[in-house]
Structure 1
């Protein structure tokens, strides 16, 4: 029986003209279901419940003081508002503020967060943090700006979906986090012409952009609650870190911050203690597949017209190659391990590929 190890979801490409409020956007609702979860939270000594106003949290409640729902930050009520004391919304009195974005960023730069590995993805089911085995698959997808989530199979909890935008688990009582060794190179991207473009990349004419990811990251590290302003010709643009938006005179565009992918070092320390997640990908043989018509997946097999097999691709993948080239019926192809795509270099037709465990 086929059993996928991971399946990644992608962002919608074009959101350059979508309306946006100036209020804090904790929800990133345009990348989820467009609705704010208005579950009830306890915020009273007598144990009675209050329900936060979803329109207030979106910044457009018309009822004002006559609203029957509480005008408080719904994320502060649940104890996970990422803006802390800098939040523009009202927080309940006496509640301990969550760490600010600057504090979180400072924590992630701490060189002792990991055990020596470049990164560590971990889950917590209430009994402490445990490493996710073979987390390079998660990291590879997290490094792609268009990937908003990844679905992992073969865990003791069934299929687990990690939301990269909010760093949470969909629909399960689990927590997720990514530890960092402090040396990650962060890349910044913006949606342009229905696709994600890295700041500083060359355009079709060979001209580099006016700013680089390192310029933006330097400002972000100094103050994640601020913004970065730059000019292109006579036009001025502002990247607002809180909203993850590039603001122009006429358009607003999504912005993404993702790590430059690094394959873990050979022989890096790996905890030997038994983990509830070690069975995620052990005892299975990896196979490489490409997506055909109708969303049907086909395994790479060595045929007269196609000299490359799933094992050939896996060998290249294990060698930490970023891509591999091959021909099918004389047509040149490129398989990109980072983007997980197969590109016909002649026709420019692109297909999705995946690595599954059978």
Structure 2
């Protein structure tokens, strides 16, 4: 299935920049909060049809798909309830809403030498997504929430990485692999994703290894993993994807280690790029101002200094081809970024500014 890509980072809508590659993608990354409860406060009423067993409107329903008794604090089924017990829309632990891919045995394995393959099903069978190494690369980053695919037979398609589903369309998505994927586990700490087992600032390793968590998950994706740190016992609940403690709950995610596809130059470039990008860091694009100070690219609308792109847009284009160019507009005037020369060019008067890519 031919498509163009745009991987999304939270909250990341389509840019106004012009892109010419057959594969563009826009990434939506998130810096997660480690607060005990960072759920949104909803004013919507629970959907009565959803609570009766099914709503024909699905994701487009204007009402909240959540157990009405959970909202009242009186659901007698608790964690075994088949309806959602989350204001974020996830089902409770009784009915995990995670991807088919999250269960070790739920998806067939690839046997043709490919390490992974993303597919979409419109009701007429599963179809391969071309150049899916871009999807895989973004999926491997713990802070990336979703990716938007353009120019598909179904129009623009947005894949939610947390639930492995497609927003707002009657389509299914899945990820197949060869059974050799290495999975890493992360939790939020001081608003950044940290890999379990990584050393802290003092060089001390974490109290539990990512591989230990994965081993338990593979044995039972609906169970939990307990460990002790600093005299306190914590529990990683797989269905809720949360680390639960006495004082604070933290978000947890599971992502694959990105693997290079043999003979794929684009995937090889991404693999090399990812080796230099540590967890908790994020590329930031900047331009040099008149005073010599560096400023971040930020998308702005409705202001005196409108800009059609931000740093994430630039990074997405750069990941496709680090020697390419990217066109955009400031106050309606055309500009171009030249990655090979690392300059910004005013297309009207040909003036130039330096640009740079830093990790923050």
Q: Per-residue deviation at 1:13?
A: 1.4
Q: Does 1:343 align with 2:358?
A: yes
1:9 to 16, 28, 48: 28
Quote how far apart the aligned CAs of 1:104 are: 3.4
TM-score, normalised relative to structure 2: 0.59
Native 8 Å contact 2:99 2:165 kept in 1:
no
2:121 to 120, 124, 136: 124
The one of 249, 253, 277 equivalent to 2:250 is 253
SS state at 1:216 partner: helix
Mapped pair 1:293 → 2:294: no
Q: In structure 1, how many angstroms separate the alpha carbons of the residues matched to 2:320 and 2:147?
A: 24
User: SS at the partner of 2:104?
Assistant: helix
Taking a change above 3 Å as real, the CA distance of residues 246 and 58 of structure 1, as seen in their structure-2 partners, is: farther
Change over 3 Å in CA distance of 1:204–1:61 after alignment to 2: same
Unaligned regions of 5+ residues in structure 2, if any?
A: 1-16, 85-89, 266-283, 287-295, 300-306, 312-317, 325-338, 344-353
> Given the alignment, which residue of 38, 49, 67 partners 1:40?
49
1:182-261 matches, within 5 Å, as 182-261=179-258
Quote how far apart the aligned CAs of 1:88 are.
7.1
Does structure 2 conserve the Cα–Cα contact (< 8 Å) formed by 1:12 and 1:31?
Answer: no
Give the Cα–Cα distance (whole angstroms) in 2 for the partners of residues 310 and 242 of structure 1.
33
Count matched residues. Answer: 263
Aligned to 1:188, the other structure's residue is in SS state strand
Deviations for 1:95-152, whole angstroms, at most 9, x for unmatched residues?
xxx99989932234x5x33532110001112221111110000000101111111111
Cα 1:32/1:141, change in 2 over 3 Å = farther
TM-superposition CA deviations, 1:226-249 (whole Å, max 9, x none): 111111121111111111111111
Shift in alpha-carbon separation, 1:222–1:181, aligned structure 2, 3 A: same
Structure 1 pair 174/33, CA: closer, same or farther in 2 (3 Å)?
Answer: farther
- Spell out, residue by residue over 1:296-330, the C-alpha distance to the aligned partner (whole angstroms, 9 max, x if none): 4489xxxxxxxxx9998259xxxxxxxx99999xx
Gaps of 5+ in 1: 20-29, 66-70, 76-80, 90-97, 269-288, 300-308, 316-323, 334-341, 345-349, 351-358
List per-residue Cα deviations over 1:264-309 (Å, max 9, x = no partner): 12279xxxxxxxxxxxxxxxxxxxx94643324489xxxxxxxxx9
Q: Quote the Cα distance in structure 2 between the aligned partners of 1:159 and 1:101.
A: 22
Structure 2 match to 1:313: 322
Q: 1:64 to 1:201 in 2, by over 3 A?
A: closer
How well do the aligned residues superpose, as a CA RMSD in angstroms? 4.7
Q: Distance in 2 between matches of 1:311 and 1:9?
A: 16
Task: Please report how far the alpha carbon of residue 210 of structure 1 lies from its aligned counterpart in structure 2 after TM superposition.
Answer: 1.4
Partner of 1:61: 72
Q: Distance in 1 between matches of 2:130 and 2:115?
A: 14
- Please tell me whether the aligned partners of residues 57 and 73 of structure 1 are also in contact (alpha carbons under 8 angstroms): no
Write the distance in 2 (CA, Å) between the matches of 1:157 and 1:139: 20
TM-score (norm 1): 0.60
Equivalent-residue separation in structure 2 for 1:118 and 1:152 (angstroms): 21
Q: 1:261: how far off?
A: 0.5
Matched, 1:266 2:263: yes
Separation of aligned partners in 2, 1:153 and 1:187: 29
Question: Could you tell me how far apart the structure 2 residues matched to 1:122 and 1:39 are?
Answer: 33
User: In 2, Cα distance between the equivalents of 1:122 and 1:87?
Assistant: 27
Asked whether the equivalents of residues 342 and 355 of structure 2 are also in contact (C-alpha less than 8 Å), the reply is yes
Alignment CA distance shift 1:37-1:10 (3 Å): farther
Contact 1:167 1:177 in 2 (8 A): yes
Equivalent runs, 1:82-121 vs 2, <5 Å: 87=94, 104-108=103-107, 112-113=109-110, 115-121=112-118
